[in-house]
Structure 1
Amino acid sequence: MTATLQALLGFIAWTLCLLVLMEAIRSWLVLSGAVPANGFTPDNANLSPFMQRLARAHANCLEGLPLFGGLMLVAVVAGRATVTDPLAWVLLGARIVQSLIHLVSTSPAAVTARFTAFAVQVAIAVWWVLGLSGV
């Protein structure tokens, strides 16, 4: 398996990890009687700030997956993983860092760091588009 496919699997696994964490906490809230089973909003707005950040971090992964994952798949299907392999793990690392910062804080410094991690991903995606298109 190429580095690109491994990183794509990692991206999917990270997204799933955030979902499992969110659903485990939600299940506990229901089983403990703290929240009725039908008492959740998609953004967890009626729950703790952590749960709101967790929902947003998960949504960020879902929003990024078609773009970043799509580029990874295009590269592999086109036999051009040599374009994406060198930065595939960097992209995954930046995604995980972005999510972890999101979970920990919304302070101005944390938001700046989170944006920086996202900007790294966008720069890599632009680089990949240029490399895959032959520009």
Structure 2
Amino acid sequence: MGQLQDMSAEEPALSATAVFASLAELRDAPGYSPKAIAERLINSMGADAAAPLLGIKVELLDRWASGQDAPNAHGRLQLADLDALVGHLHCAFTPAQAMDWMCSPNAQLGSRPIDVYRVQGSAPVIGAIRAHAKEAFG
């Protein structure tokens, strides 16, 4: 908590209204649409890998990516969650390292990161990626 207070002393305060007003447009922003995220995931990891992690069939992911179909609210959250995880993986690892790290036992998570993601979502896995990056690059 002290760290947050120190940061606020250095940086100008942002009002919640200003932050959320700018986020209001985000849903329709080209790079954040479900179509764009589905395309990015397919390009990054392939539909055969992304679809099972999203809990959907490849054909549905392809329809989302082509704009023929749109995900419901749960599907949009799943897309955003996997997109966030993939973004963190790309920042911390090469593709081969990311695959190896996701499929290897992780002491911090108590399991393989891919298994933790399937049960708990990206948050704990992203935390472990950040801890790994801090150790590696700290």
- Normalised by the length of structure 2, the TM-score is 0.34
- Normalised by the length of structure 1, the TM-score is 0.34
